[in-house]
Amino acid sequence: NFMLTQPHSVSESPGKRVTISCTRSSGSIASNFVQWYQQRPGRYPTTVIYEDTQRPSGVPDRFSGSIDTSSNSASLTISGLKTEDEADYFCQSYDTTKWVFGGGTKLTVL
């Protein structure tokens, strides 16, 4: 069993770049794919990154995903921030027989 830990909140200005981290507590971050889901206020989640780095069709290339085995973490980077990017972001991975979600990060664009 492992946990995924995200910062509770991050904030940045429009036009800037922000990175949200997701640290795996045990086992290698590279062992299982990491996904990122965006949930705008009052809305259902949408998938912005799957399989560590892949962007679904329709997701702007301002969104990118990566993993770093040295810090055992995954990251979601959003460049050219827009006010519409303000949302909760959840990382998620797979642990043998079940999914594991991070606690979520609230992104404020101000």
Partner 1 sequence: VQLVQSGAEVKKPGESLKISCKGSGYSFTKKWIGWVRQMPGKGLEWVGVIYPGDSDTRYSPSFQGHVTISADESITTAYLQWSSLKASDAAIYYCGRGGALDHFDSWGQGTLVTVSS
HEC readout, 9-21: EEEECCCCCEEEE
Would you say 73 or 92 has its CB closer to partner 1? 92
Of the candidate residues 46, 72, 77, 79, the single one contacting partner 1 (CB under 8 A): 46
Of the candidate residues 23, 35, 64, 75, the single one contacting partner 1 (CB under 8 A): 35
Of 102, 63, 103, 56, the C-alpha closest to 85 is 63
> Near partner 1 by CB under 8 A, which window of 10-18, 29-37, 60-68, 71-79?
29-37
Determine, following the binding rule CB under 8 A, whether residue 101 of this chain makes contact with partner 1. Answer: yes
In degrees to the nearest 10, what's the CA dihedral of 42, 48, 52, 55?
170
- The CB-of-44 to partner 1 minimum distance in angstroms stands at 5
| Chain-centroid distance, C-alpha 76 | 4
> Near partner 1 by CB under 8 A, which window of 21-29, 35-43, 61-69, 70-78?
35-43
The 8-class DSSP code of residue 85 comes to G
